[in-house]
Amino acid sequence: MASEHGGNTLDPIHQFEIQNIYPMEIFGIDASFTNSALYMVLTLILSAGFLIFSMRGRALVPGRLQSVAELVYEFIANMVRQILGSEGMKFFPFVFTLFIFVLFANTLGLFPLPMVFTVTSALIVTFALAMLVMVVVVGYGLYKHGLGFFKLFLPDVPVILLPILVPIEIISFLSRPISLSLRLFANMLAGHVALKVFAGFIISLGSLGTLGILATVMPFAIGVALTALEFLVAFLQAFVFATLTCIYLRDAMHPSH
């Protein structure tokens, strides 16, 4: 349930609390505009703005922003080619969009902005992204192969083992959106909790006077190191999400493999 009130700002869990910004109801359903929705909109605006702004000149000798945009583009394109082959490049816009959205959502929550909220620390958001991937996978698989898509659940083993292995394959497939969403959610949640805990140490020790301020050196140094690590984790989790998306799409393209 969305919260209307603030809370203890030193509480490491408080940062994940969904708060109403603009309450509204549609046909009896709570459709309030929340801090989560705000940061999703900001993520879309910033990611789209970065790509548009960096590529607006398309210079032969690229500047810094254009170089970064081209590097990210080639990085994801090469990953798609390696996993899906040249035929799978039709999925490149989808995979690239997911990667950029998750990357910006992960990193935006690391900046000390007003009402800062990490979109990917909300399980409902990561699960929605994972379900979007699975809908595309199943939809394309059925469109391309029809009922042949279900060969995905028939491993190349002796027939006598099929009654045991087919249910395992089905359960494994159905668990994909759960594992995909939990992996991203848990990594972002844990990192932000750790950062908040060390920030709380710094504030608490700093209020104790001169000795307390001197004692903040260690938690401050650890906090800086954790922040740098979180930027790396933000990139790695976006990369892992995009990589697993490609692997699942490969199953849709070649279900009998």
Q: What is the pLDDT of residue 5?
A: 43
Q: Which one has a higher pLDDT value, 100 or 31? A: 100
Average pLDDT estimate for 33-45: 90
Q: What is the pLDDT of residue 212?
A: 67
Whole-angstrom distance, CA of residue 92 vs CA of residue 38: 27
Q: What is the pLDDT of residue 238?
A: 95
193-207 pLDDT, tens digit per residue, is: 887 777 777 777 666
Q: What is the pLDDT of residue 7?
A: 46
Q: Which domain holds residue 123?
A: 14-253
Percentage of residues of the chain with pLDDT beyond 70: 87
E strands within the chain? 20-22, 25-26, 29-30, 33-34
Amino acid at position 230, single letter: E
Q: Residue 240 — pLDDT band, cuts 50, 70, 90?
A: very high
**Side-chain-facing half-sphere of 161: CA atoms under 13 Å:** 9
218-232 pLDDT, tens digit per residue, is: 777 777 888 888 899
* Residue 145 counted as domain residue: yes
* Residue 175 counted as domain residue: yes
* Residue 8 counted as domain residue: no
Whole-angstrom distance, CA of residue 102 vs CA of residue 129: 9
- Give the residue among 147, 102, 68 at the shortest CA–CA distance from 241: 102
Q: What is the domain count for the chain?
A: 1
Q: Residue 6 — pLDDT band, cuts 50, 70, 90?
A: very low
- Give the residue among 100, 120, 121 at the shortest CA–CA distance from 54: 100
Whole-angstrom distance, CA of residue 43 vs CA of residue 104: 6
Mean residue pLDDT across the chain: 85
Average pLDDT estimate for 18-44: 85
Whole-angstrom distance, CA of residue 166 vs CA of residue 156: 11
User: Strand, helix or coil at 19?
Assistant: strand
The per-residue DSSP string of 155-166 comes to -SS-GGGHHHHH
Q: What is the pLDDT of residue 190?
A: 86
Amino acid at position 163, single letter: P
Average pLDDT estimate for 145-161: 85
* Residue 227 counted as domain residue: yes
Percentage of residues of the chain with pLDDT beyond 90: 42
> What backbone torsions phi and psi does residue 122 show, to the nearest 5 degrees?
-100, 120
Q: What is the pLDDT of residue 36?
A: 87
130 neighbors 237 (Cβ within 8 angstroms): no
pTM: 0.85
* Residue 2 counted as domain residue: no
* Residue 133 counted as domain residue: yes
Q: Which one has a higher pLDDT value, 34 or 218? A: 34
Q: Which one has a higher pLDDT value, 18 or 89? A: 89
* Residue 199 counted as domain residue: yes
pLDDT score of 33 more than 90: no
Query: Which residues lie closer than 8 Å to 210 by C-beta, 6 or more apart?
Result: none
> What backbone torsions phi and psi does residue 120 show, to the nearest 5 degrees?
-80, 5
* Residue 5 counted as domain residue: no
